[in-house]
């Protein structure tokens, strides 16, 4: 029996360049970086003092005020993304068989920023000053569990913590659950809210973040010769993934097919990629094989493109290894919204699907002088208006995690 096709029918997102699928796409087309001086806290003593923040997000616009008050920002972003995704899919939560609907989410840090805030409360005023919601707000699974309670979905549910690849891992696992017939509908994606002093500072101490503080909008520059690190961001993106027969039965508009997923580990280093890129290339080949696609079938690669010195060069090797001399369009979109850690793979999956549907491949923002070591077919400066039939989205995380998603055009 052939696997059930998993199709995407809804996209919900809360990002620094736009809230909602239409605003996200307009932000991608506009091509203007959302990175600016961080104002969530005073970054005194830090090398990096810039971030991609979300302005204009009010949790009460997407959920009951009382429920919003019981969630930290991490869970609020997740629930808002889920609600927007269901609205975009034209799918009422109460129209789905609850036990056949599930949720897979991903996050690098979960509610750690809220825990950090509450630690301050504790040190200033003792236990009585700490929120009673702390215990069930900070654990990573709060994202998928709050989504389940919000919409009554009783099927498969988990939130993985595979660092910057976690959003992509969640989508891949949801795709597989649909293909195996374990659910008819899945919400899947990533959420991250890491902009707090200690959480932010921990990455600053790794010297992995850009210090281009005087020109924030030019700080995140994937594959550029003059890149000096990533820029931390926040956000969420959630996809509605359905069994094809379920989507067609209700006349849903389909963005594309989630066709393949690959997942490997470098087993090399906590923060540096395996220099050869061998395991990242294997994850890409796994995704293609699972989707029954060959390298020649792929028209676009949405790169992880973190804007770090090591990652971009290694990813370029991976792309050359898998696609050889054949030109395949590649762009990294983190120049627009920075690196929202575990949400990035989900945001980039959404952008990849929109690129397939709209026949428009986004450029790589801030790519002024491509790194000679990245000799791949980079989409730079100007977008390409072209029909792409299949695409992949790469996501890599701390600990050597490599996750790749393969999509087909609807």
Q: What is the pLDDT of residues 238-257, one digit of tens each?
A: 999 999 999 999 999 999 99
Average pLDDT over residues 367-375: 94
Task: Give the residue among 409, 392, 162 at the shortest CA–CA distance from 283.
Answer: 392
Residue 1 has pLDDT above 60, yes or no: no
pLDDT at 381: 86
Helix axes 112-125, 197-205, angle to 10 degrees: 120
Task: Give the residue among 116, 33, 38 at the shortest CA–CA distance from 72.
Answer: 116
Q: Respond yes or no: is residue 119 known to be catalytic.
A: no
Q: Which residues contact 32 (CB under 8 A, 6 or more apart)?
A: 17, 217, 336, 365
pLDDT at 316: 97
Token readout for 105 is 């989410």
Residue 68 has pLDDT above 70, yes or no: yes
Quick one: what percent of the chain has pLDDT higher than 90? 92
pLDDT at 121: 86
Residue 2 has pLDDT above 80, yes or no: no
- The domain segmentation of the chain, as residue ranges, is 6-256, 261-409
CATH architecture of the domain formed by 261-409 = 3-Layer(aba) Sandwich (3.40)
Q: Out of 13, 119, 145, 164, which one is annotated catalytic?
A: 164
- Does 261-409 match 6-256 at the fold level? yes
Distances (CA, A) of 387 to 245, 390, 391: 26, 9, 11
Domain 6-256 has CATH 3.40.47.10: yes
Counted residue by residue, the chain has a size of 410
C-alpha 38/C-alpha 185 separation (Å) is 38
How does pLDDT run across 151-172, given as a tens digit for each residue?
Answer: 999 999 999 999 999 999 999 9
User: 3 falls in which pLDDT band (50, 70, 90)?
Assistant: confident
**66: helix, strand or coil:** helix
How does pLDDT run across 384-394, given as a tens digit for each residue?
Answer: 999 999 999 99
CA-based torsion, 260, 328, 10, 249: positive or negative: negative
How does pLDDT run across 296-333, given as a tens digit for each residue?
Answer: 999 999 999 999 999 999 999 999 999 998 889 999 99
**2: helix, strand or coil:** coil
C-alpha 377/C-alpha 331 separation (Å) is 8
Residue 377 has pLDDT above 80, yes or no: yes
User: 4 falls in which pLDDT band (50, 70, 90)?
Assistant: very high
Q: What share of the chain is helix, strand, coil (3-state, %, to 5)?
A: 40, 20, 40
How does pLDDT run across 187-242, given as a tens digit for each residue?
Answer: 999 999 999 999 999 999 999 999 999 999 999 999 999 999 999 999 999 999 99
């Amino acid at each position: 029996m052939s696997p059930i096709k998993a199709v995407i029918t809804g996209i919900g997102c809360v990002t620094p360049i736009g809230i909602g699928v239409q605003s996200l796409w307009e932000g991608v087309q506009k091509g203007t970086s959302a990175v600016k001086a961080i104002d969530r806290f005073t970054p005194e003593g830090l090398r990096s003092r810039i971030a991609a923040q979300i302005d204009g997000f009010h949790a009460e616009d997407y959920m009951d005020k009382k429920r919003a008050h019981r969630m930290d920002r991490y869970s609020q972003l997740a629930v808002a993304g889920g609600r927007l995704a269901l609205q975009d899919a034209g799918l009422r939560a109460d129209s789905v068989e609850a036990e056949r609907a599930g949720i897979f989410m991903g996050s690098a840090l979960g509610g750690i920023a809220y825990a950090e805030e509450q630690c301050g409360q504790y040190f200033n005023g003792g236990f009585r000053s700490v929120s009673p919601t702390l215990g069930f707000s900070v654990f990573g699974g709060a994202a998928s569990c709050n989504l389940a309670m919000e919409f009554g979905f009783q099927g498969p549910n988990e939130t993985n913590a595979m660092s910057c690849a976690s959003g992509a891992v969640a989508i891949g696992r949801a795709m597989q659950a649909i293909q195996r017939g374990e659910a008819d509908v899945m919400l899947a994606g990533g959420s991250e809210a890491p902009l707090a002093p200690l959480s932010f500072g921990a990455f600053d101490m790794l010297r992995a973040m850009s210090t281009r503080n005087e020109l924030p909008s030019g700080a995140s520059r994937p594959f550029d010769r003059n890149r000096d690190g990533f820029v931390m961001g926040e956000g969420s993106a959630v996809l509605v993934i359905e069994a094809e027969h379920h989507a067609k039965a209700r006349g849903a508009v389909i963005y594309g097919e989630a066709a393949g997923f690959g997942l490997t580990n470098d087993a090399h280093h906590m923060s540096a990629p395996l220099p050869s890129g061998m395991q990242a290339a294997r994850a890409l080949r796994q995704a293609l094989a699972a989707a029954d696609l060959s390298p020649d079938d792929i028209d676009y690669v949405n790169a992880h493109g973190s804007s770090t010195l090591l990652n971009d060069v290694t990813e370029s090797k991976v792309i050359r290894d898998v696609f050889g001399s054949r030109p395949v369009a590649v762009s990294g979109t983190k120049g627009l919204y920075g690196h929202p850690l575990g949400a990035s793979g989900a945001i980039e999956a959404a952008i990849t699907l929109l690129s397939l549907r709209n026949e428009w491949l986004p450029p790589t923002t801030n790519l002024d002088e491509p790194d000679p070591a990245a000799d791949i077919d980079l989409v730079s400066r100007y977008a390409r208006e072209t029909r792409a039939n299949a695409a992949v989205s790469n996501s890599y995380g701390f600990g050597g995690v490599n996750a790749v998603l393969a999509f087909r055009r609807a």
